[in-house]
Amino acid sequence: MSEPRRIGVFGGTFDPIHNTHLAIARAARDQARLDLVLFIVSANPPHKRGANLESAEDRLALVEAALAGEPNMASSRIEIDRGGPSYTADTLKVIQEQFSLAELFLIIGMDSLIDLPKWRTPERILARAHLLVVPRPGEADIPESLRGKYTVLTFAENFLSSTDVRARLESGDPCADVLPRSVSELIQRRGLYRECAEHSARG
C-alpha cells in the first residue's frame, strides 16, 4: 500500500467513541478526499486534568473496535506511548515525521476553532495542518487570525456528546442508537462505565 498523501488527524479522549465521532470522520474523509483518518486517543489531555476517564488502553480498544471495517480509518497510540500532556502541536510533528510526504488536516469542532488561539503553540499547529471544522448551530465569532486557515465541513447529523453517552451507560439505558454494536459489546465484556454509576448510587 502506498503512503497516504492526505491524512486527517482526529484527536479526542473518545470516552467512549460513538456514532457522531464516526459520522464526523466519514464527512471529513469524503469531503476533503482524505486517504486516511487517524483517530488519536488522548492519554492525558491538558483541558481535562482530573477528569474521571476510562484508561487510555480501554479507550483505544473501543476505538479499534469501532473502526473495524471502516475504510481509510485507523487508530493511533502516539499520545499514549509518548506520555505526558497530549499537546496537538507535538502530535502533528510526530505524524509529519512518520508521513513525510503527506499533507495533514486537523479535524476539530467549531468550539475548538474559537479557542485555538489559547492552545499551546497554535502557530505550530497552523503551520503543520489545515483545519477541517465541524459546524455547530448558530453563529460563531471566529478570531481574525484564523481567517482563511480552515474549511467548514458540511455536517447535518445530530450532535451527541460522550458525556451524554456515559450518562446512558451508567444508568443502564439502551445505547444501540448511539454506539456501534462492537463498542457496546466490548464495554459490556470489560465492565466499563460502571464505577461512576456505583459512586452515584452510594452518594
Is the residue at 24 inside a domain? yes
In a domain, 189, yes or no: no
203 residues of the chain, pLDDT tens digit each = 578 999 999 999 999 999 999 999 999 999 999 999 999 999 888 766 556 899 999 999 999 999 999 999 999 999 999 988 889 999 999 999 999 999 999 999 999 999 999 999 999 999 999 999 999 877 778 988 898 999 999 998 888 999 999 999 999 999 999 999 999 999 999 999 985 443 333 33
Q: What is the extent of the structural domain holding 151?
A: 6-159
CATH value at residue 37 = 3.40.50.620
Cα 62 from chain centroid?
Answer: 12
Instruction: Indicate whether 167 belongs to any domain.
Output: no
The reply to whether 1 falls in a domain is no
- 72 part of a folded domain: yes
Eight-state DSSP code of residue 104: E
Q: Is residue 30 part of a domain?
A: yes
Number of domains in the chain: 1
Instruction: For residues 151 and 133, give the distance between their C-alpha atoms in angstroms, rounded to a whole number.
Output: 6
Q: How far apart are CA 135 and CA 153, in angstroms?
A: 7
List alpha helices for the chain, DSSP H.
19-31, 56-67, 78-82, 88-98, 110-115, 122-128, 162-171, 181-190, 195-202
Phi, psi of 137 (to 5 degrees): -60, 145
Torsion of CA 188, 190, 193, 197, to 10 degrees: 80
Question: With a threshold of 0.75, does the pTM exceed it?
Answer: yes
